[in-house]
Amino acid sequence: MSLRDHLKYYWNVKLVGSAYLRWQRWQAERKPRIPRNWRTDIIAPPLKISARTKELISRHYLEGRYANGHKPVAWVTSGGPVEILQALGFYVLYPENHGALCGARRYALELSEEAENYGFSQDICSYARTDIGAMLSGKTPVGRLPKPDLLLACTNICQTVLFWYRVLAKHFNVPIILIDTPFVYKNAPEHAIEYVKKQLEASIPVAERVAKKKLSFKKLKEVVRLSREASELWLEIMYRGKTKPAPISVFDQFIHMAPIVEMRGKPETVDFYAAMLKEVDERIKKGIGAVKNERKRLLWDNLPIWYKLRFLAEYLGEHGISVVASTYTMAWGELAPLIDPERPIESMAKTYIYPILNRGTGYKLQKMRDMVDEFDLDGAILHSDRSCKPYSIGQVDQRNRLISEYGIPALLLEADHNDPRAFADEQVKARLDSFIEMLE
Amino acid sequence: MIKAIGIDVGSTTAKIVGVNESGEFVWSYIEPADPRVEDQVERFLEKVREMAGSIEGIPIVATGYGRNLVHQATKKVTEITCHARGVFKQLGHGGTLVDIGGQDSKVIVIGPHGEVVDFTMNDKCAAGTGRFLENTAGRLRVKLEEMGNVALSAPEEVKISSTCTVFAESEIISMIAHGVRVEPILKGLHRSLVKRIVAMIRSVGLVPPLMLSGGVVKNPAIRKMIEEETGEKVILPDHPQFMGAYGAALIGLKLGKG
C-alpha cells in the first residue's frame, strides 16, 4: 500500500468523485426526470430515492476503482458472511451484484461470450460467466474492478460458487475462505450451526493476515448491529407491499436491493433504507400504487430477469397486474430477527445457514403459500431460471401444488436471470397473455 | 345465420369459423398461413361477405400467433382460452385438452364450467410440435397426410433418442444410411413426439377425460400412441382443427350479447 495509492484514493473518491456524485444526486432530486418512454399511464414514476440509489452504487464502484493499494479488497458471494470483512476495513465487491448490474445494462451477454470463448460452457450460471468474462477481459460498465486480495465463498446459495471462486483464486493467485453451510431440511441441528461457527472463527486469522490488522470485536458488533438494522428496514419495506394498492412492485425492489446485498453493515445503508421506507409510506398515505390500476396482485419466485425488468413491469402493469412480493427480495430481510449484535459469530452462523436457497423445497412451497395469504395475492409467477438450478429445482412440483392443493394460479416462466439468449419474447408473451386471461 | 366470427391465425394454417345465435358451428374455412396476414384476413372476411352479405355489427374475435394483425377484430384472445371455450362447448365437459399445433403444443386443464384451470406449453424446442413431423416428412419423402398410416403399418419401430428437431433429422439421415426402412423410422419419430406431449400432460397432471385438438389430430398414429402412452381413451371434438377459431367465435357471440 503506497502513499501514491492513498492520495489517488482520497483525491478521486473522497474529494472529487463523492462531491460530483452528490451534486448529481442533488440535481436529480431538484428536478426529478422520468426516463424516456416511461409508461406513466400504467405504472408509477420511479421512486425519488432512485437518485440516491444511483449515488450509492456509483460511489461504491468508484471506491472499488481506487481501492487496490489503499485498502484490502475481498470478492464475496451474495450470501457470504461479510460482517467480519467489513469490520476489518475490506472493500467488498459482490461479483453477483456486478453481474446483475451488467445484466440490467444489457452488457452481460458480451462478458458472458468472453468466458464462453475461453471455454466456459453456456450451461454454467450466467452470473459466473459474466464475472469470469469480466475477469478475463477487464471489461466492465463501471470503469474498473479492483483485484481481490481475498475471496470469500459461502455455499448457502449454491455449489457453483465453489468452482467459480476456485477459478478466481487461481487467476488472481489469492487465498480463498470457504464457508460450507450444510443443507437445512427442517431445522438446522445444533452441530451444523456449530460447524459453521467454527469455520467463521477459523476465517478470522486468514482475513486478519490479508488485512494486516487485528479484528476488533467492538467494531464487529457495530457492523452486525448495522447489518441487522438495514435488514429490518428492508423487511419493513417488503411488508409495505401488503397495502392495496401496493406502493412498490418487485421490479422496484429489484432495482433498490443492491445496497442490502453489497453494503450490509454500513451506516449509509441504514440511512438509505430509512429514507426509502419514508418515501414508501408517503406513497401509501397518498394512495399511490406501483401499478396505477391495480386489479390483480402476484408473487414472483426466483431471481429477476435483469434485462427485462421494465418490459415485465409494463406488460403486466398494462393489465392492472402488480407483482408485489417475491421470495427473492424477501431473502435479504426475513433473517433479520436472527442477527444478534451481542453474539455476532453465533448469530451469524445461524443467519447464514438459513437462507431460502439452503433449505428444502417444501420450505419454499410453504413460504410461497404464506406470502400469498399475507399479501393477499391472486397468483404466482415462478421464473424457471436456467442459470440458477438450486432456486429452480422443485418449481414444477411447487407450481402444481400451489394450484392443486391451494387453488393458487401459477405460471412457470422459462428464462435466465442474465443471459438474454434464454428469453424468447414471443413465447413469454404467449404464456403471460394466457395466464392473464386465466386470472380474469 | 352467422352471429359471430372467430379467426385463428396460426403458424401453419389460418382458420375462420362462423357461429349462429345459439353458438353452433355453422361455417368454416381454412388456408395455409400466408405471411401477408392482413391480406389473408381481408380475403377471409370477403368470403364471409359473399356468403352472408354484410358483416356489419357482427363481432369478430381473433386468436393465434397472428391475432394482433387482425385489425378488424373486436377483441383478441389467446389460443389457450379459445381452445378451452370451443372444446367445452362442443363436448360439454371439462378435462385435459391437448392441442398440438404447428408451432407449439399446449396442454390445457379445463374446469367443470369450461374455465382454464391450468395450462402448459412446450418449451423453446420444436420437438413437441407438428413442425417436428413436417420437418422430417420432407426428408423421408412421405406426404404429411400419409405419415400416420405409414407409421402405424410398421410392425416394429426404431428409437429416435434425440428430442431436438434438428438432431432428430441428422439421426434419421444416419439411420437411412444404415439401411433402416422408412416405416420403423416414422413410427419411432411419432413415438418421440408423443413422449414429449405425454411428459407435458404429466407435468400439469392428467385430469380425465383426455381430449385432443389441433391440426396434428388428423394423424391417426398420434392419437393411437397418446392413448397407448397414457392409458386413457382420447375424445375428439367434431372439428378439431377449428377449435381455436370456434372458441373465438363463441367469445364474440358473448360480446355481441353484451
Question: Is B235 a member of any domain?
Answer: yes
Question: Is B42 a member of any domain?
Answer: yes
Chain A CB contacts of B68 under 8 Å are none
Substitution target in B120, B129, B206, B251 with the highest count of A β-carbons within 10 Å is B120
Residue ranges with strand state E in A155-284:
176-179
Instruction: Report the alpha-carbon distance of residue A369 to residue A359 in Å, rounded.
Output: 16
User: What pLDDT, on the 0 to 100 scale, is given for residue B11?
Assistant: 86
Q: Do A430 and B65 touch (CB under 8 A)?
A: yes
Place of cell 421490479: A251
3-state secondary structure of A280: helix
User: What pLDDT, on the 0 to 100 scale, is given for residue A1?
Assistant: 67
User: What pLDDT, on the 0 to 100 scale, is given for residue A274?
Assistant: 98
Instruction: CATH number of the domain at B225, please.
Output: 3.30.420.40
Question: Is B140 a member of any domain?
Answer: no
Chain B CB contacts of A427 under 8 Å are 104, 121, 124
Residue B126 has pLDDT above 80, yes or no: no
- DSSP state letters, A290-353: SBTT--EEEEEESS--GGGHHHHHHHHHTTTEEEEEEHHHHTTTTTGGG--TTSHHHHHHHHTT
User: What pLDDT, on the 0 to 100 scale, is given for residue A2?
Assistant: 83
Q: Tell me the mean pLDDT in the region B137-144.
A: 85
User: What pLDDT, on the 0 to 100 scale, is given for residue B130?
Assistant: 81
Range of the structural domain that residue B36 is part of: 4-124+197-256
User: What pLDDT, on the 0 to 100 scale, is given for residue B139?
Assistant: 80
From A260, A298, A296, A293, select the one nearest A383 (Cα to Cα). A298
**pLDDT confidence tier of residue B215, bands split at 50, 70 and 90:** confident
Residue B174 has pLDDT above 70, yes or no: yes
Question: Is B189 a member of any domain?
Answer: no
Residue-wise pLDDT for B46-87, tens only, equals 999 998 888 888 999 999 989 999 999 999 999 999 999 999
Substitution target in B79, B119, B200 with the highest count of A β-carbons within 10 Å is B119
Question: Residue A48 has what DSSP assignment?
Answer: T
Q: Count up the domains in chain A and report the number.
A: 1
Instruction: Report the alpha-carbon distance of residue A371 to residue A406 in Å, rounded.
Output: 12
From the number of C-beta atoms within 10 Å of its C-beta (0-12, 13-18, 19+), residue A341 rates as middle
ipTM: 0.86
User: What pLDDT, on the 0 to 100 scale, is given for residue B257?
Assistant: 79
Which helix (H) or strand (E) segment holds residue A51: the answer is helix A50-65
Substitution target in B105, B106, B118 with the highest count of A β-carbons within 10 Å is B118
From A217, A182, A214, select the one nearest A199 (Cα to Cα). A182
Q: Do A431 and B79 touch (CB under 8 A)?
A: no
Instruction: Report the alpha-carbon distance of residue A386 to residue B131 in Å, rounded.
Output: 25
Question: Residue A414 has what DSSP assignment?
Answer: E
Chain B CB contacts of A403 under 8 Å are 117-118
Task: Identify whether the C-beta of residue B144 lies closer than 8 Å to the C-beta of residue B175.
Answer: no
Tell me the sheet residues that pair with A184. A359
3-state secondary structure of A43: strand
Task: Identify whether the C-beta of residue B85 lies closer than 8 Å to the C-beta of residue B250.
Answer: yes
Q: Do B80 and A434 touch (CB under 8 A)?
A: yes
Instruction: Report the alpha-carbon distance of residue B43 to residue B37 in Å, rounded.
Output: 10
Least confident of A294-303, A309-318, B160-169, B205-214: B160-169
A332, A336, A339, A340: CA torsion to nearest 10: 150
C-alpha grid cell, residue A314: 409494463
Nearest by CB to residue A430, choosing from B78, B117, B204, is B78
User: What pLDDT, on the 0 to 100 scale, is given for residue B102?
Assistant: 78
From A425, A420, A416, select the one nearest A392 (Cα to Cα). A416
Q: B210-213 and B95-100: which strand pairing?
A: parallel
Instruction: Report the alpha-carbon distance of residue A76 to residue B102 in Å, rounded.
Output: 48
User: What pLDDT, on the 0 to 100 scale, is given for residue A69?
Assistant: 94
Question: Is A36 a member of any domain?
Answer: no
User: What pLDDT, on the 0 to 100 scale, is given for residue B1?
Assistant: 84
Residue B163 has pLDDT above 70, yes or no: no
Question: Is B245 a member of any domain?
Answer: yes
- DSSP state letters, chain B: ---EEEEEE-SSEEEEEEE-TT--EEEEEEEEPPS-HHHHHHHHHHHHHHHHS--TT--EEEESTTGGG-TT-SEE--HHHHHHHHHHHHH-S-EEEEEE-SS-EEEEEE-TTS-EEEEEE--S-GGGSHHHHHHHHHHHT--GGGHHHHHHH-SS-------SHHHHHHHHHHHHHTT--HHHHHHHHHHHHHHHHHHHHHHH---SSEEEESGGGG-HHHHHHHHHHH---EE--SSGGGHHHHHHHHHHHHHHT-
Which helix (H) or strand (E) segment holds residue A157: the answer is none
Count of CA atoms in the C-beta half-sphere (13 A) of A136 = 18
Residue B124 has pLDDT above 70, yes or no: no
Task: Identify whether the C-beta of residue A89 lies closer than 8 Å to the C-beta of residue A211.
Answer: yes
Residue B258 has pLDDT above 80, yes or no: no
Instruction: Report the alpha-carbon distance of residue A69 to residue A304 in Å, rounded.
Output: 35
Q: Count up the domains in chain B and report the number.
A: 1
Contacts of B256 (CB under 8 A, 6+ apart): B3, B4, B58, B59
Question: Is B175 a member of any domain?
Answer: no
Query: Could you tell me if residue A214 is left (phi over 0), alpha (psi between -120 and 50 degrees) or otherwise beta?
Result: beta
Q: How far is A320 from chain B (nearest CA, A)?
A: 17
Range of the structural domain that residue A188 is part of: 3-31+41-439
Question: Residue A216 has what DSSP assignment?
Answer: P
Task: Identify whether the C-beta of residue A46 lies closer than 8 Å to the C-beta of residue A38.
Answer: yes
Nearest by CB to residue B78, choosing from A403, A426, A437, is A437
Task: Identify whether the C-beta of residue A393 lies closer than 8 Å to the C-beta of residue A413.
Answer: no
Question: Is B55 a member of any domain?
Answer: yes
Identify the segments of chain A with pLDDT beneath 50.
Answer: none
Question: Is A246 a member of any domain?
Answer: yes
* Count of residues making up chain B: 258
Helices and strands (H, E) in chain A, number of each type = 20, 8
Question: Is B16 a member of any domain?
Answer: yes
Place of cell 483464486: A169
Residue ranges with strand state E in A66-223:
73-76, 91-93, 150-154, 176-179
Q: How far is B205 from chain A (nearest CA, A)?
A: 8
Contacts of B237 (CB under 8 A, 6+ apart): B86, B87, B90, B91, B211, B213, B243
